[in-house]
């Protein structure tokens, strides 16, 4: 397995590993047997969780072994739900209170139409041996899922079918020139190289002006004005991996490896590096009063104010933190290597 493939699995956390290829869960009996016998575990809330998001009046979190948990508004506790997959899940997205998608290893895509109470597998491809790292939908029919080595899937029918796309406009200039030369010399080698030459696509978000912003490996920052069908790769001031992005008050923030974080106005005319109190890799952020809360490796929890001043809030040593979100009651929830916990706000 190549070093870059291991990087993709790590997703900046240093904690993920690829699962071995598993048989596709095509048979309904196979899925049902797994859901009923092996997956529901009483300590799942303390297992590796990689993402968390709001779904109407509830919260939904995803993680290892296909685990999906919901925060019950009535019981006020996390409850695991059955899913048809054992694949490690890396990201979850909800279009509204009912319609959501989760993605993960083996290019797995799961969907729900009831707020996360039940899930159906829409796509899985163990032979790709690479994870999907994010998913986004414009409406109930049109969505994209992105991941390692430029893996890019699109649906126009709500996920009933997914088509793979290749986006050469996201190549660096050197890689684009190399690929063009290779195509003229060796078509077979060109096809093989095209399947792995793109950078890892780590995060895609919709901006307030309806454009899409995508960040990834090798300092990739790209913008799309047509739902991700065509991208423009921007010149950027850093060539390391970027793992996440967020927009707040018409200001954009991107961040990633070893505490590197940057901010720019919505036109992205000029990026400014933000000094962080630690060099820990930053994985996620959530808006809080007066700024942002960022979480990352080494248990780092950092508050960034509107003046771009960063301050360490706490550090949970021995943990890597992968996601942070605010629930409908205003509580802060954090996901990481030791599961889910609430961060009390001061």
pLDDT tens track for 202-230: 999 999 999 999 999 999 999 999 999 99
| Dist CA 282 CA 320 (whole Å) | 10
Whole-angstrom CA distances from 98 to 113, 291, 325 are: 5, 29, 18
* pLDDT band for position 41 (cuts 50, 70, 90): low
Quick one: pLDDT at residue 76? 77
Residue 265: other Cβ atoms inside 10 A: 12
Q: Could you report the per-residue pLDDT of 93-121, keeping only the tens digit for each?
A: 999 999 999 999 999 999 999 999 999 99
Mean pLDDT score, 301-313: 97
What contacts 9, CB < 8 A, 6 or more positions away?
Answer: 16, 17, 18, 105, 131, 148
* Residue 301 reports pLDDT greater than 60: yes
* pLDDT band for position 75 (cuts 50, 70, 90): low
Quick one: pLDDT at residue 128? 86
The residue ranking higher by pLDDT, 35 or 219, is: 219
What pTM was estimated for this model as a whole? 0.88
Q: Could you report the per-residue pLDDT of 124-183, keeping only the tens digit for each?
A: 999 988 999 999 999 999 999 999 999 999 999 999 999 999 999 999 889 999 999 998
Quick one: pLDDT at residue 129? 87
* pLDDT band for position 72 (cuts 50, 70, 90): confident
* CA dihedral over 161, 60, 68, 300, signed as positive or negative: positive
User: In sequence order, what are the beta bridge partners of 292?
Assistant: 287, 304
Quick one: pLDDT at residue 22? 25
Quick one: pLDDT at residue 74? 73
Helix (H) or strand (E) holding 5: helix 3-10
* Residue 8 reports pLDDT greater than 60: no
Helix (H) or strand (E) holding 173: helix 173-185
Quick one: pLDDT at residue 42? 65
Tell me if 222 sits within 8 A of 233, measured CB to CB: yes
Q: If you average pLDDT over every residue of the chain, what do you get?
A: 88
Quick one: pLDDT at residue 39? 57
Mean pLDDT score, 186-209: 94
Q: Could you report the per-residue pLDDT of 225-271, keeping only the tens digit for each?
A: 999 999 999 999 999 999 999 999 999 999 999 999 999 999 998 99
What contacts 283, CB < 8 A, 6 or more positions away?
Answer: 11, 12, 13, 243, 244, 295, 296, 297, 320, 321, 322, 323
Q: What is the DSSP code (8-state) at residue 303?
A: E
The residue ranking higher by pLDDT, 23 or 198, is: 198
Q: What is the DSSP code (8-state) at residue 281?
A: P
* Residue 4 reports pLDDT greater than 80: no
Give the CA-trace dihedral at 314, 319, 321, 322, to 10 degrees.
180
| Dist CA 249 CA 267 (whole Å) | 13
What is the percentage of the chain residues whose pLDDT exceeds 90? 80
* Residue 19 reports pLDDT greater than 50: no
Closest to 133 in 3D by CA, of 283, 291, 261:
283
* Residue 2 reports pLDDT greater than 70: no
């Amino acid at each position: 397995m190549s070093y870059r493939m291991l990087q993709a699995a790590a997703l900046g956390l240093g904690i993920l590993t690829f699962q071995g290829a598993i048989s596709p869960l095509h048979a309904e009996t196979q899925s049902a047997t797994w859901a009923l016998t092996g997956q529901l575990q009483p300590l799942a809330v303390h297992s590796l969780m990689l993402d968390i998001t709001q779904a109407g009046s509830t919260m939904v979190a995803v993680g290892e072994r296909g685990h999906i948990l919901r925060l019950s508004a009535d019981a006020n506790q996390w409850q695991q739900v059955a899913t048809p997959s054992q694949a490690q899940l890396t990201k979850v997205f909800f279009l509204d209170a009912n319609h959501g998608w989760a993605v993960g290893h083996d290019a797995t895509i799961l969907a729900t139409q009831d707020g996360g109470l039940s899930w159906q597998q829409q796509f899985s491809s163990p032979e790709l041996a690479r994870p999907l790292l994010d998913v986004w939908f414009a409406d109930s029919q049109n969505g994209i899922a992105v991941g390692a080595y430029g893996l890019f899937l699109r649906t126009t029918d709500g996920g009933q079918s997914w088509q793979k796309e290749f986006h050469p406009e996201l190549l660096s200039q050197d890689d684009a020139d190399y690929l063009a030369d290779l195509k003229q010399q060796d078509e077979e080698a060109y096809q093989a190289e095209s399947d792995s030459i793109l950078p890892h696509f780590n995060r895609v978000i919709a901006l307030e002006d309806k454009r899409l912003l995508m960040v990834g490996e090798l300092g990739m920052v790209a913008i799309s004005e047509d739902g991700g069908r065509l991208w423009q790769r921007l010149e950027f001031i850093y060539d390391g991996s970027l793992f996440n992005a967020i927009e707040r008050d018409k200001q954009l923030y991107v961040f990633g490896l070893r505490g590197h974080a940057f901010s720019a106005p919505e036109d992205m005319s000029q990026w400014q590096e933000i000094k962080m109190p630690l060099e820990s890799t930053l994985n996620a952020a959530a808006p809080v009063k007066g700024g942002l809360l960022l979480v990352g490796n080494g248990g780092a929890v950092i508050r960034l104010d509107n003046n771009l001043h960063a301050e360490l809030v706490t550090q949970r040593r021995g943990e890597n933190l992968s996601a942070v979100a605010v629930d409908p009651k205003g509580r802060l929830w954090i996901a990481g290597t030791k599961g889910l916990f609430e961060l009390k706000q001061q």
